[in-house]
Chains A and B, each alone.
Chain A
């Protein structure tokens, strides 16, 4: 049975990776999860300098999901390079660094800095709904998507994954813009912008008022968007949005994803990634699937 998949020339032992921001750089979950079992670890977003993030409360539970407005708190690229890359390199897994920024120059600074580092791919976060500048400002305008992709690609030495926002009218248009800009792969979906109000205190549940909606409740939207993007572009897709079980992961692969990311599920099941790796193998066994590539986009 072959579970290997290839994205932009990078071979993953299986299609299961972590979703940025839900897994840190792997150190905390490493106590409970064998990181060697994962196709890749996608790190928490890292900027050129440390970011403080948003005030608390930063999260709220909602029916079947959660809202978060962490605001991309991160230690900046210097600490990341010294501490997190050597940590992850101890394991037999691929490293995908999620890059965030407020300006094009910020993104480029991080991408350039990572040029000589031992990381496998870069995921460019142009879709975070929780920071006022940058992030999503780049991800909701096709011209901006194409421009930032081009600029990042000029400096990147590793393959570039553009992470798309679902908070747009037509995600296919954004996918085509990233493809035109030279992206090597796409990942989707980032979180959906949401809001929760505490009716007893008559206050927003989050200090940031709005936050990114994630968890099992968003899965049908995410599957639809992966299918839509798979039909719009030729690039490999990393699908995510509410994946909690192997069945969820297979749904995304059948819709057109080459790999999948597990995010919010880590919070309620720290073992979710490993269970999904095993569950995909069990599914392949059950249906006599010899190569996982047979499943990618198999439902048309």
Chain B
């Protein structure tokens, strides 16, 4: 099987926080193949906006043939998605990318902002001791749902909940420990997590993002700098959409 582009149907949509929405999409051909850490391309109905928006999978319900995305409204495209109602059609392609390697080790699931959603499906699929460390600017979302599958620690920039500061501040304040890290979030956070993992000598996987066009590895728009020579172009540019979005931390330069 491979990725498919299809017309899905919106099953439900709700607002989780200011500008943050959750949408369940019926898309059986995608749901049956998808794994934690993969993403889908979502297409707008307005043809003046050509390119799909890559959005990570927050949950996969294989039995119901549905996938869930939790996304932030950042521009006209995501704004259009946020207006979709139950029963509306939505064009999607997926599943895309590699996903997280599932290793049964005491794990940190570190999410920053809109990097938090993929941690939910990961928490559901990992069968081991888990600690989710979630960083927010201010308003929280998904922290309660993650609480059903994992211990949860929160950091907020404004100190309105949990530790005041970032995810690493929360780890230090809670004297938290793990043997493997899975992380998704803004680049400065990922850079700091990578450094922390190297210091502690812990295995670490990072999920990256970049502007994308094709989403399947052909256009070479979304490359990141890799330590090893990539197998596509034989330079040091791994494709985030195809070779990633999840990379071993030591594999990529941030």
Contacts and interface: CB of A to CB of B under 8 A. Distances in A.
Contacts of B47: 64, 216
Contacts of A28: 214, 216-218, 242
Nearest to A63: B48
B223 to A, nearest CB: 6
A58 B50 contact: no
Range class of the A interface residue count = 35 or more
A211 to B, nearest CB: 10
**DSSP majority for the B interface?**
loop
A29 interface: yes
A271 to B, nearest CB: 7
Interface in B231-250: 232-237, 242
19 contacts: A22-B219, A24-B217, A28-B242, A32-B2, A51-B233, A56-B222, A59-B219, A64-B47, A64-B50, A66-B51, A74-B233, A75-B233, A76-B234, A216-B47, A267-B51, A267-B214, A268-B52, A270-B5, A271-B5
Given A24-B217, A28-B242, A61-B49, A268 B237 contact: no
Contact of A57 (B3, B210, B216, B220): B210
B158 to A, nearest CB: 21
B205 interface: no
B16 interface: no
Interface string A29-60: 10110000000000010000011110011111
A215 B213 CA distance: 12
B237 A267 contact: no
Q: Which of A66, A70, A268 has the most CB of B within 10 A?
A: A268
Contacts of A271: 5
Given A61-B49, A63-B48, A73-B223, A32 B5 contact: yes
Given A53-B237, A61-B51, A268-B43, A75 B5 contact: no
A292 to B, nearest CB: 27
A229 to B, nearest CB: 26
Interface string B198-230: 000000000000111111111111111000000
Nearest to A271: B5
Nearest to A64: B48
Contacts of B190: none
Contacts of B5: 32, 269-271
B3 A51 contact: no
A28 B93 CA distance: 14
A93 to B, nearest CB: 16
Contacts of B43: 268
A59 B3 contact: no
Interface of A: 21-24, 28-29, 31-32, 44, 50-53, 56-61, 63-66, 68, 70, 73-76, 79, 215-216, 264, 266-271
Nearest to B224: A56
Contact of B2 (A31, A52, A70, A76): A31
Contacts of A50: 233-235
A23 B50 contact: no
Instruction: Report the 8 A-B pairs with minimum CB-CB distance, sorted nearest first.
Output: A24-B218, A31-B2, A28-B218, A59-B221, A75-B234, A267-B213, A28-B217, A75-B233
B214 A266 contact: yes
Given A59-B221, A267-B219, A68 B213 contact: yes
Contact of A52 (B48, B216, B219, B237): B237
Contacts of A75: 232-235
A58 B234 contact: no
Contacts of A63: 48
Contacts of B219: 21-22, 24, 59, 68, 70, 267
A35 B220 CA distance: 20
Contacts of A22: 214, 218-219
Contact of A58 (B214, B215, B221): B221
Interface in B1-33: 2-5
A73 B211 contact: no
A213 to B, nearest CB: 12
